[in-house]
């Protein structure tokens, strides 16, 4: 097929966005949580990864269009590294809190972010949470980024698999989860109790881990709902960690203990 001279987003009766990059596109097609419009492949790219993704698209009934790299640049921007692949699809769906709870199996494991606004940080946390076996993420409707292509790229496609709920008020959502049997563990650099010293029995049931932004930590209303507030012991000159680094340490420490 000859490359199209110009490609415009299609009108499908529903909103659509453009995913780009090998991992986000592949995982979107694998997860099947979106409505798909079309797959765009750069004619100049010849890689086995793209062939396998095209096969996924064919099995899902998604039309493939072969275009030039110039067309892809026009769609997603010159500064974006599309890796020669773009998928037009509906936005990633989100759940309400009740639906997220129903999606969990015992022992239930969730993570919440309090005021983390950078999409790259949110995407990296999603990647960590999904890899650590956590079953969902809570984001607030305000002070949290949209679940757009930047998060998909930063999460390497993990956002396609991890259920995500949007809540209006995180503090009240923690109250509800606690009423429904969850313990809440918060990570904060000012906490006096070490993550590595907390009694495993204290957090052996259903658990929600909440982390705040690196510069602000947990807001006071959220902090008051936390059952166990822990810090990551640090011995170097740097006083804090990026939230995604902190998430990796906390979640995998819990997993190491079999929690």
Lay out the sheet containing 63-67: strands in order across. 17-20, 85-89, 36-42, 63-67
Check whether residue 209 and residue 123 sit in a common domain.
yes
Contact 189, 239 (CB under 8 A): yes
High-pLDDT (> 90) share of the chain, %: 81
Domain annotation covers residue 247 = yes
pLDDT digits (tens, 9 = 90+) for 64-116: 999 999 999 999 998 888 999 999 999 999 999 999 999 999 999 999 999 99
Check whether residue 101 and residue 52 sit in a common domain.
no
Whether the predicted pLDDT of 207 surpasses 50: yes
pLDDT digits (tens, 9 = 90+) for 104-123: 999 999 999 999 999 999 99
Check whether residue 77 and residue 140 sit in a common domain.
no
pLDDT digits (tens, 9 = 90+) for 27-41: 999 999 999 999 999
Picking from 30, 56, 89, the residue at the C-terminal end of a domain is 89
Whether the predicted pLDDT of 5 surpasses 50: no
Picking from 71, 89, 107, the residue at the C-terminal end of a domain is 89
Looking at the DSSP bridge assignments, the partners of residue 228 are: 185
Domain annotation covers residue 84 = yes
pLDDT digits (tens, 9 = 90+) for 225-239: 999 999 999 988 888
> What pTM was estimated for this model as a whole?
0.92
Check whether residue 150 and residue 220 sit in a common domain.
yes
Q: Residue 113 CA to chain centroid, in angstroms? A: 11
What are residue 137's phi and psi, to 5 degrees? -130, 140
Residue 123 sits in a domain whose CATH number is: 3.40.1280.10
Residue 69 sits in a domain whose CATH number is: 3.30.1330.30
What are residue 141's phi and psi, to 5 degrees? -70, -30
pLDDT class for 3, splitting at 50, 70, 90?
A: very low
Domain span holding position 195: 97-256
């Amino acid at each position: 097929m000859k490359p199209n001279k110009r490609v415009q987003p299609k009108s499908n009766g529903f909103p659509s966005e453009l995913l780009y990059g090998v991992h986000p596109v592949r995982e979107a097609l694998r997860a099947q949580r979106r409505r798909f419009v079309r797959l765009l492949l750069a004619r100049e790219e010849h890689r086995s990864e793209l062939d396998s993704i095209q096969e996924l698209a064919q099995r899902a009934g998604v039309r493939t269009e072969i275009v030039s790299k110039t067309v892809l640049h026009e769609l997603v921007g010159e500064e974006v590294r599309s890796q020669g692949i773009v998928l037009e699809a509906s936005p990633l769906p989100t759940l309400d809190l009740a639906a997220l709870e129903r999606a969990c199996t015992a022992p239930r494991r969730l993570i919440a972010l309090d005021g983390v606004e950078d999409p790259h940080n949110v995407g990296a946390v999603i990647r960590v949470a999904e890899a650590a076996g956590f079953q969902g993420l809570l984001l607030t409707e305000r002070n949290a980024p949209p679940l757009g292509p930047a998060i998909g790229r930063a999460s390497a496609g993990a956002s396609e698999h991890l259920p995500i709920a949007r809540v209006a008020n995180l503090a009240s959502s923690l109250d509800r989860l606690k009423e429904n049997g969850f313990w809440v563990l918060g990570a904060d650099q000012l906490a006096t109790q070490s993550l590595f010293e907390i009694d495993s029995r204290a957090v052996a049931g259903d658990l929600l881990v909440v982390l705040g932004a690196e510069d602000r930590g947990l807001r006071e209303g959220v902090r008051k709902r936390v059952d166990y507030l822990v810090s990551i012991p640090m011995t170097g000159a740097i006083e804090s960690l990026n939230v995604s680094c902190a998430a990796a340490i906390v979640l995998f420490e819990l997993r190491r203990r079999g929690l």
